Amino acid sequence: MSRHTVLQCITPSRVAGAERHLAWLAPRLRARGHAVSIACNESSRGLENFRALMQQSDFDVAALPIGGKANLRALAALLGETRRTRAKLTHSHLSSASWWCGWLQNLGGCPSLGHVHGFTSARWHSRQKQLIACSGAVKQHLVAQGLDAARIAVLHNPVDAADLKPARAASDVRAEIGADESTPVVGTFAHLSEKKGWREWLGAIPEVLRAQPKTQFWCVGDGPMRAELENAAQQNNFAPSVRFLGFRRDVADVMNAIDVMALPSHREPFGLVYVEAALLGKPSVACNAGGAPEVVVDGETGILVAPRDADSLARGIIEILDDRARAERMGNLARERALDLFGWSTFLPQLESLYDKVIA
């Protein structure tokens, strides 16, 4: 295996999937002998949170003027950072970082590998030598916009099961939140934004409660829809069944205490949360759209439902809650599959092979 000097470039607006992926990736690359530096746009609203995240692994973050697609300072700043770090390759995350890394490559700078974490315009990645798509669905989206399929490798974002070891017993978490061991619990872990399917989530609750009246719905996350969701729960008289838990650092503890994870995103690029649920032995209900079907096997590790369909979502949740033995089998199979397909031991050699290819 070749060891490389890599500048990881990212232009985040908040700490979400791409940022978490980089926080997991960088120390693992360093442990395998690669020299890794991190650059982030200096105007990022999430800069301090991202810096704090990277400092947990002893990485400093260089704040550069690389935000925006018409920033005349970006190329010079990026060139200066590649020279300072002696990088032989840039590995970009998110569109603005990829845009400027592609231009740098085209103008004689070091080669670039673009990591596409979501459904985005192919234009921002058109100048990069090699792309990684986080799912087959994201690759298809790029190819449909005219990019050559041969330039795009699919590497599903990995999760380390060791990072998801609960620190507390599920019964203790349930007692804290107000459920006993017999309470059916549906957990949803996501940013509170419309694209995550929260309105369908709301619409499914009455039907689930008619079938399973003691069910609790745990909402883990924060975002612009929180007030709307809380008000709707009050107005529709099911607020006692819903727990809005906000941002939690003990996600593994909370997820380990639920019975089913239900996230009806309209079109999730990949859906790391489905992998996390699987590693904790939980079946998922997800929409049959985007990258979710690459993680959730319908009828085997969870249930796939129609997008933007609250009735379909409710039926999927009820199907799992009504048969605890089947739910346990689904969860066990989900864990086995996640360990086999979505681990770092699979991802890292594939990534290093792409590094070799791009530099060569």
> 188 and 206: one domain?
yes
Give the contacts of 343 (CB within 8 A, at least 6 positions apart). Answer: 158, 159, 160, 161
Give the contacts of 316 (CB within 8 A, at least 6 positions apart). Answer: 262, 285, 303, 304, 305
> 38 and 172: one domain?
no
> 33 and 69: one domain?
yes
> 25 and 130: one domain?
yes
**Percent with pLDDT over 90 in the chain:** 92
> 347 and 290: one domain?
no
- Give pTM, 2 decimals: 0.91
Which of these, 97, 139, 117, lies nearest to 17 by C-alpha position?
Answer: 117
> 165 and 125: one domain?
no
DSSP state letter for 132 = E
> 351 and 298: one domain?
no
In terms of residue numbers, what domain contains 56? 5-158+343-359
Q: Can you tell me whether residue 89 is helix, strand or coil?
A: strand
> 269 and 354: one domain?
no
pLDDT band at 1 (very low <50, low <70, confident <90, very high): low
* b/e 231-252 (16+ beta carbons within 10 angstroms → b): ebbeeeebeebbbbbeeeeebb
pLDDT tens sequence across 176-208 = 999 999 999 999 999 999 999 999 999 999 999
pLDDT at 64 over 90: yes
DSSP codes joined into one string, 224-268: TTHHHHHHHHHHTT-GGGEEEEES-S-HHHHHHT-SEEEE--SS-
Give the per-residue pLDDT at 2: 84
The amino acid occupying position 296 is V
pLDDT at 256 over 80: yes
pLDDT tens sequence across 138-161 = 999 999 999 999 999 999 999 999
**Contact by Cβ (8 Å): 272, 240:** no
pLDDT at 101 over 90: yes
User: Across residues 292-314, what is the average pLDDT?
Assistant: 98
Location of structure tokens 């979505």: 342
**Contact by Cβ (8 Å): 292, 183:** no
The kind and range of the H/E element at 100 are helix 95-106
> 151 and 189: one domain?
no
**Contact by Cβ (8 Å): 279, 161:** yes
pLDDT band at 12 (very low <50, low <70, confident <90, very high): confident
Give the per-residue pLDDT at 209: 98
Beta bridge partners of 275: none
pLDDT at 338 over 90: yes
C-alpha dihedral (193, 198, 200, 201), degrees to nearest 10:
170
Beta bridge partners of 185: 216
Give the per-residue pLDDT at 16: 80
pLDDT tens sequence across 31-51 = 999 999 999 999 888 788 899
Q: Which residue has the higher pLDDT, 45 or 9?
A: 9
Give the total number of structural domains in the chain. Answer: 2
Give the per-residue pLDDT at 293: 97
